Amino acid sequence: MTLAPDSITVTRPMSAPPTERPVLPLPGWAIEAFAAHDISPMISRIVGESMGLAFADSRDDTAFVEALHRSVTENASTLKDVLCGEVGLGNLLLVHPLRFAELEAERRVPHASLQRSYRNSFAIQWDEWAGVLAEAAENADVSRLDALAAVVALTRTIGSYTEVVISSAALSFSRSEDAFKKSRAHVRQRLIREILDGSGEVLSPADLMTLDYSLGGHHLAVQLPEVPQVDSQRIVNALRTSVSPMHTIVYPVTLGSSVVWLGSSKPWSDDRMVRAVDLLGSMEVRASVSEQAAGLSGFLRAFEEVRSVEEIRASVDSGELPDVVRYRDLRLEILLMRDRQLAAEFVASELGPLAEHTSEASKLRATLEASFRLGSHVAAAEHLQLHEHTVRNRLQKAQDLLGPTQDRRTELQVALRLWRIMNVA
């Protein structure tokens, strides 16, 4: 769900709320110190603590973290300008904090988390500026009364600024939340989320009409790890043309990643699935494709399959896997990686010296794997573009290091596949 441009974002200055105590001017020696102070470390601290205190569930969502960083940066920079007298409280033009509030509403972040993050942010900023003020007062050798007056002025200024910003952010959050609650797309996202977490297994007829996707059909899931929901429609339209699903539905896994389900009234043939994979490859997008599965359990299973593929993809070096990966091609790795410790011990036990991170071990692994897969050292030599004697010597060296390999072909082939995934020493 994307809001219409400028539907909520403030385009006019924020108004300072009435206050019983007017903001007091800061002395010149304090303003001079504030202007020279570097706020970059403080911004990083605020972002880090906010992710831990208020947004822990989104710490792996890169787009969310970047949006928070832009919000905190603009907020802290504007407060610095206010303290230095360059901007008045009645003329604040904040963009990113309000956009971040809209984003929080879209991501269904609790309002209490927004409040918690702001309270922590301004507590950090008060501590930071109070420290700068104390040091400046000492360097300027001002009287205790003048220093105290400056602290009062600082506190009132930050307090008034905080009230303006929090009120505006809360209003932006509420407006966005109301807009999303009323949108059909938002309701569909909620229904999918409830299905995935197990709380929406029984949907009402009205819910099923809103979902507009038959859960009783045959499903194929495609995760697009680098395509946000807002940009997925082009790919969905191409898949509709290529493989003719009866229904499609898109769900945003994160801000920058989405999953598409393709529903069919009949089982997906391998030919249709291959056409889907080929199409995705021609569009030059990264994608994970499930196997076909039926019914509500199949809807859930297809989702888990593409998520499992993405977990494996995140574990390998770039280039180890093609851009488009089918679950069927990684089923063995996914099964064995459910216990990473056991898998690591298996690889180390089977490969021994060949599991080392050396050029020699890498050559022996590649030669052994090619020999197993192709069935002969002649075919392996052709595949690796090496002389047959070189391949024969490498296989002999591998056998010297590993012992007899003929009776352990299965174990060694599995260990070699796991090594690529785990990169285990």
Question: Residues 164-176: what's their mean pLDDT?
Answer: 89
Residue 159 — very low, low, confident or very high, per pLDDT cuts 50/70/90? very high
What is the spatial distance between Cα 422 and Cα 388, in angstroms, rounded to a whole number?
30
Q: How far apart are the first and last CA of the chain?
A: 45
Structure confidence at residue 424 (pLDDT): 38
Structure confidence at residue 22 (pLDDT): 57
Structure confidence at residue 393 (pLDDT): 87
Residue 6 — very low, low, confident or very high, per pLDDT cuts 50/70/90? very low
Mapped to the 3 state alphabet, what secondary structure does the chain carry?
Answer: CCCCCCCCCCCCCECCCCCCCCCCCCCHHHHHHHHHCCCHHHHHHHHHHHHHHCCHHHCCCHHHHHHHHHHHHHHHHHHHHHHCCCCCHHHECCCHHHHHHHHHHHCCCCHHHHHHHHHHHHHHHHHHHHHHHHHHHHHHCCCHHHHHHHHHHHHHHHHHHHHHHHHHHHHHHHHHHHHHHHCHHHHHHHHHHHHHCCCCCCCCHHHHHHHCCCCCCEEEEEEECCCCHHHCHHHHHHHHHHHCCCEEEEEEEECCEEEEEEEECCCCCHHHHHHHHHHHHHCCCCEEECCCEEHHHHHHHHHHHHHHHHHHHHHCCCCCCCCEEEHHHCHHHHHHCCCHHHHHHHHHHHHHHHHCCCHHHHHHHHHHHHHHHHCCHHHHHHHHCCCHHHHHHHHHHHHHHHCCCHHHHHHHHHHHHHHHHHCCC
Higher pLDDT, 319 or 369: 369
Structure confidence at residue 181 (pLDDT): 67
What is the spatial distance between Cα 129 and Cα 37, in angstroms, rounded to a whole number?
9
Assess contact for 375 and 391: CB atoms under 8 A.
Answer: no
Residue 416 — very low, low, confident or very high, per pLDDT cuts 50/70/90? confident
pLDDT value at 24 more than 50: yes
Question: Residues 347-357: what's their mean pLDDT?
Answer: 84
pLDDT value at 337 more than 80: no
Cβ-in-10-Å burial (0-12, 13-18, 19+) of 60 comes to exposed
- pLDDT tens digit string along 204-253? 887 888 888 999 999 999 999 999 888 899 999 999 999 999 999 999 98
Name every residue whose Cβ is closer than 8 Å to that of residue 108 and which is 6 or more positions away in sequence: none
Assess contact for 105 and 189: CB atoms under 8 A.
Answer: no
pLDDT value at 1 more than 50: no
Poorest-pLDDT segment among 126-135, 314-323, 398-407:
314-323
Question: Residues 182-189: what's their mean pLDDT?
Answer: 78
Question: Residues 333-337: what's their mean pLDDT?
Answer: 76
Question: Residues 46-68: what's their mean pLDDT?
Answer: 91
Question: Residues 382-398: what's their mean pLDDT?
Answer: 85
Structure confidence at residue 14 (pLDDT): 56
pLDDT value at 70 more than 80: yes
Phi, psi of 303 (to 5 degrees): -65, -45
Question: Residues 136-143: what's their mean pLDDT?
Answer: 93
Structure confidence at residue 425 (pLDDT): 35
Name every residue whose Cβ is closer than 8 Å to that of residue 335 and which is 6 or more positions away in sequence: none
Question: Residues 297-325: what's their mean pLDDT?
Answer: 85
pTM above threshold 0.85:
no
Structure confidence at residue 318 (pLDDT): 55
pLDDT value at 9 more than 50: no
Q: Encoding tokens for residue 399? A: 């056998």
Helix axes 40-53, 111-140, angle to 10 degrees: 150
Mean pLDDT of the chain: 85
- pLDDT tens digit string along 261-293? 999 999 999 999 999 999 999 998 999 999 999
pLDDT value at 403 more than 60: yes
Question: Residues 293-300: what's their mean pLDDT?
Answer: 94
Structure confidence at residue 343 (pLDDT): 75
Phi, psi of 164 (to 5 degrees): -65, -50
Structure confidence at residue 3 (pLDDT): 33
The share of the chain scoring above pLDDT 90, in percent, equals 48
Cα dist. 344→126, 277, 352, 402 in Å?
Answer: 49, 31, 11, 17
pLDDT value at 8 more than 50: no
Taking residue 58's Cβ as centre, other Cβ atoms within 10 Å add up to 21
CA-closest candidate to residue 312, choices 223, 197, 425? 223
